[in-house]
Structure 1
């Protein structure tokens, strides 16, 4: 990855993160909690699915994450093409660019849909239409934008706080059974909260702060990982065009996997250059511990990149 493309990746990361957070906030603001509560209690899967569909539509909007993804691909491809003195033809790569955008949205939505569906099932279990209707809807709404694991963690955190709030004596005696499924930071929050007054309103405030932290963490992970994926894909697309138009000799150029080269590089990532010591062709995937892959990222928060080299100088 050239310096120009790396700088584009940094800018794209900021835009992707903001777009994801904006989409989540938009969907949450548009929901009718009472209608959602009735749908959840009635096991109305279509209404719950509509919540997911709204998030997908907002993410895929040209002004949202989808537009940011398309921009990242095109701008990084143009920068890589410019380094080869090539004018990038976006129209010729439109199918390739569209596929990457669709894959990004689908990868986010698959986990988001699972989180909402599983949370709805937990929220409706054993409830009737008259029991905590708004709380049920709020629980499901809080899962929007989270992964299934994050949503389960938030539900567990909420349940422990609710249980502590129902105890009249202060400070609340927190048993190992109450705390064993919480993370260390969650346990610390619960212990502080249980030492003082813990009203339902305070529980909601604590849960909301934790929800925002979880969504922000996912937004940052998506942005960092997908900025790398999109800009690497854009660069690769430009190299393919360069070969097709005779700007570079495909038979004499190889792609080489480059790690960040510091102590933070994971072992699986460090192994990839050695598994492809002679590099790979423009249309050939890299061998990795996780299987064949065309370009980084290898997994979440990957900082690896690809360099294009002439065989004579490799």
Structure 2
């Protein structure tokens, strides 16, 4: 039988994925490409002496001077994501409390605090990484090769990416621009500059583009499509991790409420359970052995990466906390 919490989490993950995708599409549509292009033109005319000045202007223009403000935060807020996540948290907490035959009141102060902290933690981490990716791209693109239009488009492509994704996309762009500028240049001399900065899949894409010959316009389209694929991959990973993180925090809250009102015996403890397959990372596999008797509801698990109150231990973690008496 499928756990109702797992079912609810799967639905929330799908909804969150859709919500973030829609928000990013709106943010990209609202991106002021003409103003960024004009700023690039001005920076080109004034030279490297004015680079810091224009870097600051660009940060303000694209909203990376404050991760809590700007295109991506505004677009996410417009979707009502926080309200939806709060409802999800309350539903999971209620299901967890029901396991102990208790009806959870998720409006009590500490439950509200746990809910808000879980949502704020996810939102802040996502926005911080997104802002850093945009900021990193903006700083690199001010002195990059290519027209002002091409460089402005690259900043827009970084919307919704992680820092590592943005850097790999920048390295990919540099290689494509170098090839488009001089199609006769040796492919190895172009690719050597990308070593350590791109994935094997990106390298294959570049090799194919160089072998087939790629014009500047074709390079821009290829980069647009690749940025979209990167964005979708990150959104999927983020949605899965956030749904898991919030569900586990809500489970703990539900159990704590039930225990406080006497519906859950004091000797109930939480146990760490991995997915139990070959994909389980070593650090995650070690957690159950480090906590053989489980942990009380108000204490964290010991892990190789430090204390951790609830899964996930790292991004992509599939571990879960279960509840039972001392073994």
Aligned counterpart for 1:99 among listed residues 75, 93, 117: 117
TM-score, length of structure 2 as denominator length: 0.87
Aligned counterpart for 2:173 among listed residues 154, 158, 176: 158
Aligned counterpart for 2:269 among listed residues 239, 254, 258: 254
2: CA distance, partners of 1:248 / 1:168 = 71
2: CA distance, partners of 1:139 / 1:300 = 27
Residues 89, 159 of structure 1: alpha-carbon distance in 2 compared, 3 angstrom cutoff:
same
Verify: 1:49 aligned to 2:63, yes or no. yes
Whether contact under 8 Å (2:272, 2:294) holds in the other structure is yes
**2:63 match: secondary structure:** helix
Residues 60, 277 of structure 1: alpha-carbon distance in 2 compared, 3 angstrom cutoff:
farther
Give how far 1:83 is off: 2.3
Give how far 1:6 is off: 1.2
Give how far 1:50 is off: 6.0
**Aligned equivalent of 1:200:** 216
Q: Compare 209-218 and 283-292 and name the one that shifted more.
A: 209-218
Verify: 1:189 aligned to 2:208, yes or no. no
TM superposition outliers: structure 1 runs of 4+ over 4 Å: none
**Aligned equivalent of 1:18:** 18
Mark the runs of 5 or more structure 2 residues left unpaired by the alignment. 44-53
Whether contact under 8 Å (1:174, 1:191) holds in the other structure is no
User: Which deviations, in whole Å up to 9, do the C-alpha atoms of 1:103-129 show, x marking residues without a partner?
Assistant: 1110101111111111111111278xx
**2:278 match: secondary structure:** coil
Alignment of 1:69-218 (within 5 A): 69-92=85-108, 93-125=111-143, 132-169=147-184, 173-175=187-189, 176-180=191-195, 181-218=197-234
Whether contact under 8 Å (1:259, 1:305) holds in the other structure is yes
1: CA distance, partners of 2:304 / 2:32 = 46
Q: Compare 118-127 and 108-117 and name the one that shifted more.
A: 118-127
Residues 126, 310 of structure 1: alpha-carbon distance in 2 compared, 3 angstrom cutoff:
closer
2: CA distance, partners of 1:252 / 1:65 = 37
Whether contact under 8 Å (1:23, 1:64) holds in the other structure is no
1: CA distance, partners of 2:201 / 2:221 = 16
Whether contact under 8 Å (1:23, 1:59) holds in the other structure is yes
1: CA distance, partners of 2:277 / 2:213 = 47
**Aligned equivalent of 2:46:** none
Mark the runs of 5 or more structure 1 residues left unpaired by the alignment. none
**Aligned equivalent of 2:324:** 309
**Aligned equivalent of 1:29:** 29
2: CA distance, partners of 1:168 / 1:305 = 53
**1:72 match: secondary structure:** helix
**1:255 match: secondary structure:** strand
